Structure 1
Amino acid sequence: MTPCPVCGRAGGRPLARLERRALVRCRGCRLVFLDPPRTTDAVREYFEDVYVDPAASRRIDSRRHRLFLDFLDGVRQAGRSRLLDIGCGTGEFIELARARGWNAWGVEVSREAVQTAQGRGLQVALRASEGVEAERLPFADDFFDVIVLWNVVEFFMRPDADLAEIGRVLSPGGRIVVRTQNEPFHLAAYRLHRLFEWLPASHAYLGRSYVFHPLLWSRQTLSDALARAGFVDIVVANSAPTAGDPYGVGPRREAIVQAGKWILDRAARVVARFSGGAWLIGASMTAVARKPE
């Protein structure tokens, strides 16, 4: 069994058996991860497949458009503030940030996506991997005011080292924003799918409701990782869902998916409010933290 990518402890507790991998919970730090892990090359190929199809790439970005705008509307900046988007894809968020006055950069592992972004005149650099185990970020210390990671931290091979490197290029007092899948939701959706997998509709809807990437974070494990990297004032909350299904189930099914997301989002808000933010049941969550001054 593969040791935990965070604390190195071996002998994790199996949670699910997938086609060629197991989903395992570390008995030490409680992180959930795939065993055996995907290689760096496999992760890169995954993103190349996503962005080699321009239509698929545009569909994913368009579903996140409202999410990006809401974030930018809620962030204060002083002058020409610097922003970095790690795992920026074809640069949709960078373009929106620039239109709002940010001096925005991006890094990305997909060569296809980088070429598309650079063709749009965006400042995007090609990376060897989503993390930093292969190379340092190509920026000076304390360079950025805000660093965002939209559904990227679940692909990190060495999360503690990766977050520490991100902290290096973030200015004192700067903010890191991390959006990722919420472990309790996706485990519950998987178990519900297994319970009703004999129903044809289960594969059409429940089968698409959970996602298992190399790492699956919870509110606690993500908070702990950010704290170990030196960040403070950590706040983790439910993230608003993207519109419809970014990965395409067809127009008729997408309407049902959107309705389900709306109901879940409202329920997640109620649960979070009555629990004082302790219980997060949304499909995704967002963490915001600060680098000490």
Structure 2
Amino acid sequence: MNGVWHRLMDQNQTKSQVAEFYEEFQSRGKYDYLYGDEERKNLYVELIGKGHRILEVGCRAGNLTQYYHEGNEVVGVDVDRNALKEFKKRLGLEGHWVDVDSEDLPFGDGEFDVVVFSEVMEHLRFPQKALEEICRVLKPGGRLVGSVPNAFRLRNRMKFLFGKPFEVDASHLRSYSYELLRRELAGFFVQIDIHPVSGHLLGGGSTGIPVFTWLPFRIRALFALDLVFTGVGKEGKK
């Protein structure tokens, strides 16, 4: 895995090399990520809404898109060409081959009401560049809806204390806590909200005790699997 890590961290790598890395992971089912968790899925649908022109950055094969695209006009971008083919085949939606780490988004200023940016930031060398571009293509008052893994949840902290690695995905180049995520977003967005979702207090699967939405925020932030966030683009970030 160390060789993979260093290839990803090489700032001189080409777009095609990045694409090949994710295409190989996709071929092994590494990114067939399911949003089947009802809490997470329903939260996304609620936050995204209907009647919008939407850009999904990191659309993959439409794993999340399938739940919200009806009633919206959706365009996707991804660095994985095979995933984009599946995105079009599966949902009939327009997709663009873009590496947001090294390229600008191929859209004009203020084209979108909403940008969906789910499970992407942790994969980027330069998330600030991507966030700046997202601000540019959002309409005034437009919204960002996204998520990152809650890397410092209690289960991962316990693994670390016992000398076990808690980050096993070689494509994750950075880790976010609630505080780190808010700080990253605050440079580009206002009205930031972060929702800790999914995961378990004890156990896992159907027999585990889930992170209930009625629990105090600090408890959910400590145990939740993901951090779903929203923000409104700052004026002047063009």
Length-normalised TM-score, structure 1: 0.65
1:49 and 1:36 mapped to 2: Cα distance? Answer: 14
Give 1:272 shift: 1.5
- The question of whether the paired residues in 2 share the 8 Å contact of 1:154 and 1:216 is answered with yes
1:105 positional shift: 0.9
Distance 1:57 1:193, change over 3 A: same
- Equivalent position of 1:152 in the other structure: 120
Compute the displacement of 1:91 (Å): 1.7
1:149·1:178 contact (CA, 8 Å) conserved in 2? yes
Q: Give deviations 1:43-62, integer Å, cap 9, x for gaps.
A: 53442123225xx3795336
Number of the residue aligned with 1:15: none
Q: In the TM superposition, what is the alpha-carbon distance from 1:241 to its structure 2 partner?
A: 4.4
Note if contact 1:84-1:146 (Cα within 8 Å) is conserved in structure 2.
yes
Give % identity. Answer: 25
- Structure 1, unmatched stretches of 5+, are 1-18, 22-33, 198-206, 243-255
User: Which residue does the alignment assign to 1:257?
Assistant: 204
Partner of 1:104: 74
Q: Is the 8 A contact 1:83 1:146 kept in 2?
A: yes
1:11 paired residue number = none
Using the TM superposition, give the Cα deviation of residue 106 of structure 1 relative to its aligned residue in structure 2, in angstroms: 0.6
> What's the offset of the Cα at 1:191?
1.5
Aligned to 1:252: none
Q: Deviations over 1:201-247 (max 9, x none)?
A: xxxxxx7x754510101111211111112x101111202349xxxxx
Instruction: Find the aligned partners of 2:82 and 2:93 in 1 and give their Cα distance.
Output: 14
Q: CA deviation at 1:125?
A: 0.8
In the alignment, is the contact (CA less than 8 A) between 1:91 and 1:122 conserved in 2? no
* Number of the residue aligned with 1:285: 227
Aligned pairs for 1:110-189 within 5 A: 110-120=80-90, 121-127=92-98, 129=99, 131=100, 133-185=101-153, 187-189=156-158
Distance 1:113 1:283 in 2: 24
Alignment-derived partner of residue 217 in structure 1: 176
Q: Which amino acid aligns with 1:263?
A: I
On the 8 A contact 1:271/1:280 being kept in 2, the answer is: no
Go from structure 1 to structure 2 and tell me whether the alpha carbon gap of 1:59 and 1:166 turns closer, same or farther (over 3 Å shift): closer
Q: CA deviation at 1:257?
A: 3.4
Residues 189 and 210 in structure 1, CA contact (< 8 A), matched pair in contact too: no
Q: Alignment RMSD, CA only? A: 3.3
Distance (Å, rounded) in 2 between the aligned partners of 1:75 and 1:20: 37
* Gap change, CA 1:81 and 1:221, over 3 Å in 2: same
Matched, 1:92 2:34: no
SS of 1:92's partner is coil
Q: Which amino acid aligns with 2:23?
A: E
In 2: Cα distance, 1:210 partner to 1:271 partner: 26
Aligned match of 1:232: 190
> Alignment partner of 1:137: what SS?
coil
The residue aligned with 2:215 is 270
Maintained 8 Å contact 1:179/1:239:
no
Q: What letter matches 1:125 in structure 2?
A: H
Q: In structure 2, how many angstroms separate the alpha carbons of the residues matched to 1:64 and 1:153?
A: 21
Aligned to 2:26: 51
CA distance, structure 1, for counterparts of residue 82 and residue 162 of structure 2 = 34
1:35–1:181 CA distance, 2 compared to 1 (3 A): farther
> Quick check: which has more Rg, 1 or 2?
1
Q: Work out whether 1:72 is the aligned partner of 2:50.
A: no
* Displacement after TM superposition at 1:190 (Å): 3.0
Structure 1 CA distance for aligned equivalents of residues 31 and 234 of structure 2: 37
Letter of the aligned partner of 1:103 in structure 2? Answer: E
TM-score scaled by length of structure 2: 0.78
Residues 198 and 210 in structure 2, CA contact (< 8 A), matched pair in contact too: no
Gaps of 5+ in 2: none
8 Å Cα contact 2:47/2:145 also seen in 1: no
